Amino acid sequence: MWRGLWTLVSRAARGPHRPCTRQGSRYPGPGSGATIFALSSGQGRCGIAVIRTSGPASGHALRSLTAPRDLLPARKACLRLLSDPRSGEPLDRALVLWFPGPQSFTGEDCAEFHVHGGPAVVSGVLQALGNVPGLRPAEAGEFTRRAFAHGKLSLTEVEGLADLIHAETEAQRRQALRQLDGELGDLCRGWAETLTKALAHVEAYIDFSEDDNLEEGVLDQADSEVRKLEVALGVHLRDARRGQRLRSGAHVVVAGPPNAGKSSLVNLLSRKPVSIVSPEPGTTRDVLETPVDLAGFPALLSDTAGLREGVGPVEQEGVRRAQKRLEQADLILAVLDATDLASPASCNFLDTVVIPAGAGNPSGNSQRLLLVLNKSDLLPAGCSDPHPDLPSHLLLSCLTGEGLDGLLEALKKELAALCGDPSTGPLLTRSRHQHHLQGCLDALGQYKQARDLALAAEALRVARGHLSRLTGGGGTEEILDIIFRDFCVGK
């Protein structure tokens, strides 16, 4: 009977859908037979620029440009004179590396030219490479696309690489590195294996339930595996919103009555003049957004119009936009003028925004909010906290910078709670991940409800298909195009 079961295990593993593997996509991308070249370091004058090639003519290109024209030892940096193969004109003395496939980034033969970073040297070497037969300039993301096509990176690792290139904060970098290391892919492959076993058990029951020699409890085992998987998927799905915030930035909305110093605070936190500051109440009308690094976490900071009633139509529209933005906030930075708390606009803001959001109770289900009393420099000297009866708050002076360290510390705590710990926390960073995990979970729900074993087996296959697509197995061209669009030429 075990021989029969193992046949089923392998049959289930093959299945109609490809299992999660590191074999990459069946879609190698446009023109994969050609040899491509590009400047892989940043544009502009710099000390060293890296130009690389990938494809079957890489070795030929290397020999054509270098003197002496022999092929270099693999993966060893060698100093060579580069010259134009047509005119023989020297271009640079450069470090050159040869990575024969499949032990290279793309899995193909690759060469790297570490040249001096002057624009004339870079364009001279690029032009010389363009003149080598069989070589053409690379398209954006084409090197990575080839790495994916040759099974060097799974789709989630490709996404991790894109995120690492775009990482602007410490938290983003840590999270991207974990994904590039394949943590999410490994997790999915483990889950897919569990599903393969469960599927094998169900199919064994379908094929051999009539026979006496089928081990008892085969279906119970499958049910128990599915239940455990549901719990694990649920945990990660609940964390998905935090992962997306970690990748794209938490929405922090600065709000308050007019003239409280909201724009001053936005400029202070972003260290640039994003918004106009003026003593005239009602200066800011539109929502002004700026990405900032807040204590190592990525955030999208929004400045908004001062909230008040009885104003003209343009400011009214600004107030409407501010209120809409407040609804979408992950964290509200509520700003009040510490010397103007009794004004109708301040009282109204406290009653309608601060109190309902549950200031001082950020662990509750309510929206997160930090209350800041600005203009503390205008308070009478020696007055430590003039408003102890207000919900938990921080004193700040945008003018002198006093209280800023305390505010940054509080922001760090809030953002850590909103985004999770980048070293150990959420792994789902894109809605694509969430979509497939939810699809997998839904299919497991159908498995549990299926009265017919054939339908139950099909539900398991659908569930496994979602995990497979998450890591790039059976990926469609459109998804690949969207992901590779994030890359620059040369990566």
Compare residues 170 and 340 and give the one whose CB is closer to ligand GTP. Answer: 340
Compare residues 261 and 362 and give the one whose CB is closer to Mg ion. Answer: 261
Phi/psi at 391 (nearest 5 deg)? -55, 160
Per CB under 5 A, the segment of 93-101, 130-138, 257-265, 324-332 that binds Mg ion is 257-265
Nearest residue to ligand GTP, by Cβ distance, number only: 306
Beta bridge partners of 294: 297
- Which partner, ligand GTP, Mg ion, none, binds residue 397 by CB below 5 to 8 Å per kind? ligand GTP
* Among 195, 210, 192, CA closest to 447: 195
Cα–Cα distance for residue pair 287/301, rounded to 1 Å: 10
Give the residue, chosen from 13, 140, 277, 410, that forms a contact with ligand GTP under the rule CB under 6 A.
277
In the complex, the smallest distance separating the C-beta of residue 418 from ligand GTP, rounded to whole angstroms, is 24
Give the residue, chosen from 264, 270, 429, 468, that forms a contact with ligand GTP under the rule CB under 6 A.
264
**C-alpha dist (Å) from residue 27 to 182, 331, 447, 481:** 21, 42, 31, 11
DSSP symbols for 139-197: PBTHHHHHHHHTTSS-HHHHHHHHHHHH--SHHHHHHHHHHHTTHHHHHHHHHHHHHHH
In the complex, the smallest distance separating the C-beta of residue 265 from ligand GTP, rounded to whole angstroms, is 7
Check residue 4 and report its DSSP letter.
H
Compare residues 160 and 318 and give the one whose CB is closer to ligand GTP. Answer: 318
User: What x/- string results for residues 359 through 398 when contact with ligand GTP is judged by CB under 6 A?
Assistant: ---------------xx-xx------------------xx
Compare residues 300 and 416 and give the one whose CB is closer to ligand GTP. Answer: 300
Cα–Cα distance for residue pair 194/200, rounded to 1 Å: 10
Task: Give the alpha-carbon dihedral of 386, 391, 395, 399, to 10 degrees.
Answer: -100
Contacts (CB under 6 A) with ligand GTP, residues 33-72: none
Per CB under 5 A, the segment of 262-270, 318-326, 392-400, 425-433 that binds Mg ion is 262-270
Contacts (CB under 5 A) with Mg ion, residues 276-335: 283-284
- Which partner, ligand GTP, Mg ion, none, binds residue 13 by CB below 5 to 8 Å per kind? none
Per CB under 6 A, the segment of 49-57, 86-94, 259-267, 320-328 that binds ligand GTP is 259-267
In the complex, the smallest distance separating the C-beta of residue 330 from ligand GTP, rounded to whole angstroms, is 21
- Which partner, ligand GTP, Mg ion, none, binds residue 175 by CB below 5 to 8 Å per kind? none
**C-alpha dist (Å) from residue 72 to 48, 58, 95, 99, 131:** 21, 12, 11, 9, 21
Contacts (CB under 5 A) with Mg ion, residues 264-283: 283
SS3 content of the chain, % helix, strand, coil (to 5): 45, 15, 40
Say how many Å lie between the first and final Cα of the chain, rounded. Answer: 51
* Among 134, 133, 91, 98, CA closest to 116: 91
Contacts (CB under 6 A) with ligand GTP, residues 394-423: 397-399
Cα–Cα distance for residue pair 301/329, rounded to 1 Å: 10
Cα–Cα distance for residue pair 40/490, rounded to 1 Å: 4
Residue 294's SS3 state is strand
Contact 37, 126 (CB under 8 A): yes
Compare residues 58 and 284 and give the one whose CB is closer to ligand GTP. Answer: 284
Compare residues 245 and 262 and give the one whose CB is closer to Mg ion. Answer: 262
Residue type, position 162, single letter: A
Compare residues 174 and 262 and give the one whose CB is closer to Mg ion. Answer: 262
Per-residue tokens: 115:
């040249």
Give the residue, chosen from 58, 196, 263, 468, that forms a contact with Mg ion under the rule CB under 5 A.
263
Compare residues 203 and 303 and give the one whose CB is closer to ligand GTP. Answer: 303
Compare residues 169 and 397 and give the one whose CB is closer to Mg ion. Answer: 397
Per CB under 5 A, the segment of 2-10, 238-246, 258-266, 434-442 that binds Mg ion is 258-266
Contacts (CB under 6 A) with ligand GTP, residues 278-317: 278-279, 281-284, 306
Per-residue tokens: 146:
């080839």
Compare residues 54 and 263 and give the one whose CB is closer to Mg ion. Answer: 263
Q: Which residues bind ligand GTP (CB under 6 A)?
A: 258-264, 277-279, 281-284, 306, 374-375, 377-378, 397-399
- Rule CB under 5 A: which residues touch Mg ion? 262-263, 283-284
